[in-house]
Chains A and B, each alone.
Chain A
Amino acid sequence: MLMTQRQALEVVARKRGNHVIVTTMSSTGIWPELSDTPLDFHYMPSSMGQGPALGLGLALGQTKLGVIVLNGDGCMLMNLGALVTIAHHPAPLFLVILDNGLYEVTGGQPTAGTGHADFVRLAQGAGIERVYAFESLADWEQGADAALAGQGPVVIVLKVEARLGQKTPKPPRTMPEQIARLRQALET
């Protein structure tokens, strides 16, 4: 049985350590209920598929903290080249792909990759050595510590239940507020 997106993110919230979190789209709607610190950055409003590249810049630009990007399968498909870019630049970046096989906030339409795109093999083919995949909550609970530790880049593919009827989420703070508190947190 697949885990729900909330269950998957609850594990991230428990295991994140002091990593920066970058949410995109669907995860933006859930994450504020799990964590609300200056290191939680909701990338919304966003540019299509650019969450992983934003996270890479954050991971390359400072040496204190790792960065976890919570991306959807639809967002990932918008910018698959990011996997190659990430592989090329070793950095403490942990890219979580929440794969529900559809565009959740536009009405639940399938993506071009639904049913056949294999993000594990795509990440490996891009040159990323540390790639994990989990389908059950129990396996994700058990494997999260190892997956979210050590050297990056890391790609973690989580198969999650599809949700229908979701609206585009809103972050809990304005972007200027988010930017100010993230920058302050990274400076201290």
Chain B
Amino acid sequence: MWEGIQVVAALKAAGVTHVVWIPDSDLGRWESALAGPEGLPLIRVCREGEAFAVAAGLHLAGQKPLILLQCTGLFEAGDALRNFLIDLKLPLAFVVGVRSFFLHQQGKTLDTCPLFTEPILQAWKIPYEMIDREKGPPELTRLLLNARASGSPYALLYPE
């Protein structure tokens, strides 16, 4: 389990200025560190499509936002993702919590989230990478810096 304080440090090391999010039960454990005195400006939205819109505005204003959302939220956010990442070509980065990923690998869940997360990103032509959680939060810094250097939108999948 990644600790919230380490995640905040990793995001700051990657130059992230704002976190726009709706947490899932795994990412939500980072709440106290993100919202704490040493955290980052935390923008809470009501639906995940909004997260892409708010992040787009922050980006246009010169900031470096990161979106954190759950995979079900990714499915909800399709139209916003299509518009901001593809029509407007904004190089926004986002972390998607992939619910039941490990159970799915073991064939021990009927949860369809891990089944559809990657095909959805492929359908939208969004580059993505699965985070290796064994490497710890510094891996997040490396991946985010690589994503920014790519100049394109980028999804990082956080297996749960």
Residues on B with beta carbons closer than 8 Å to the beta carbon of A57 = 20, 43, 53-61, 65
- Give the Cβ gap from B78 to chain A, nearest Cβ, in Å: 9
- Give the Cβ gap from A40 to chain B, nearest Cβ, in Å: 13
Q: Tell me if A's interface is mostly helix, strand, loop or mixed.
A: helix
Check B58 against A46 for contact (C-beta < 8 Å): no
**B62 at the A/B interface (Cβ < 8 Å)?**
yes
* Binary flags per residue of A93-117, CB closer than 8 Å to B gives 1, else 0: 0000000000000000000000000
Q: How large is the interface on A (under 10, 10 to 19, 20 to 34, 35 or more residues)?
A: 20 to 34
**A147 at the A/B interface (Cβ < 8 Å)?**
no
Given contacts A47-B82, A57-B55, contact A187 B62 (CB under 8 A): yes
Residues on A with beta carbons closer than 8 Å to the beta carbon of B52 = 47, 50
Residues on B with beta carbons closer than 8 Å to the beta carbon of A179 = 60, 88
Smallest CB gap from B80: residue in A: A47
Check A175 against B61 for contact (C-beta < 8 Å): no
**B89 at the A/B interface (Cβ < 8 Å)?**
yes
Check A60 against B88 for contact (C-beta < 8 Å): no
Segment with Cβ contacts to B, from A4-12, A82-90, A137-145: A82-90
Given contacts A46-B83, A183-B62, A187-B62, contact A176 B89 (CB under 8 A): yes
- Give the Cβ gap from A49 to chain B, nearest Cβ, in Å: 8
10 A-B pairs (CB sep. < 8 Å): A46-B83, A55-B57, A56-B57, A57-B57, A57-B59, A60-B41, A61-B57, A61-B60, A81-B46, A82-B46
B contact residues vs A (CB 8 Å cutoff): 18, 20, 41, 43-47, 49-50, 52-63, 65, 79-80, 82-84, 87-89
A contact residues vs B (CB 8 Å cutoff): 41, 45-51, 53-62, 79, 81-82, 84-85, 88-89, 175-176, 179, 182-183, 186-187
